[in-house]
Amino acid sequence: MTQESRSLVGPVLISSRTFGNYLDQFAVTEAELLAGLVLDCPGGASEFAAELRARGGRAVSVDPSYELPVDTLAERIDAGRTQATEWARTQPDRFFFDENGVWEHSPVWERSARTFLADFARDKAEGTGHYRAALLPELPFADDSFALAVSGFLLFTYADQFDYAFHLAAVRELLRVATEVRLHPLNDSSGAPYEDLERLLADLDGVSARVLTVPGTTDPGENQTLVLAPQL
| Domain around 117 | 19-230
Whether residue 1 has pLDDT greater than 90: no
pLDDT mean across residues, the chain: 95
Residue 9 inside a domain? The answer is no
Question: What's the pLDDT band for 5 if we cut at 50, 70, 90?
Answer: low
- Please give the average per-residue pLDDT across 78-98, as a whole number: 93
Which CATH number goes with the domain that contains 101? 3.40.50.150
Question: What does pTM read for this prediction?
Answer: 0.95
Percent of the chain at pLDDT exceeding 90: 94
Is 3 part of any domain? no
Residue 169 lies in a domain: yes
On whether residue 13 sits in a domain, the answer given is: no
Checking 98-103 for CB contacts under 8 A at 24+ apart, the result is none
* Residue 208 falls inside a structural domain: yes
Q: Which element (helix H / strand E) includes 87?
A: helix 70-89
Whether 41 maps to a domain, the answer reads yes
Q: What is the pLDDT of residues 105-156, one digit of tens each?
A: 999 999 999 999 999 999 999 999 999 999 999 999 999 999 999 999 999 9
Work out the average pLDDT over 90-99: 92
Rounded distance between C-alpha atoms, residue 59 and residue 62, angstroms: 10
E-assigned strand segments in 63-177: 131-132, 148-152
Task: Please enumerate, as own/partner, the contacts of 204-210 that have beta carbons within 8 Å and a separation of 24 or more.
Answer: 204/168, 204/171, 204/172, 204/175, 204/228, 206/230, 206/231, 207/175, 207/231
Q: What is the pLDDT averaged over residues 77-81? A: 95
Question: Do β-strands 181-184 and 58-62 pair in parallel, antiparallel, or remain unpaired?
Answer: unpaired
Give 6's pLDDT tier (boundaries 50, 70, 90). Answer: confident
The CA–CA distances, whole Å, from 15 to 35, 65, 184, 201, 207 equal 26, 11, 14, 27, 29
Q: What is the count of structural domains for the chain? A: 1
Query: In angstroms, rounded to a whole number, what is the distance separating the alpha carbons of residues 231 and 208?
Result: 5
pLDDT of residue 4: 45
User: CB under 8 Å to 100, separation ≥6 — which residues?
Assistant: none
What is the rounded CA–CA span in Å between residue 110 and residue 116?
10
Distance between CA atoms of residues 5 and 27, nearest Å: 30
Q: Does any domain span residue 7? A: no
Whether residue 183 lies inside any domain: the answer is yes
pLDDT band with cut points at 50, 70 and 90 for residue 2: very low
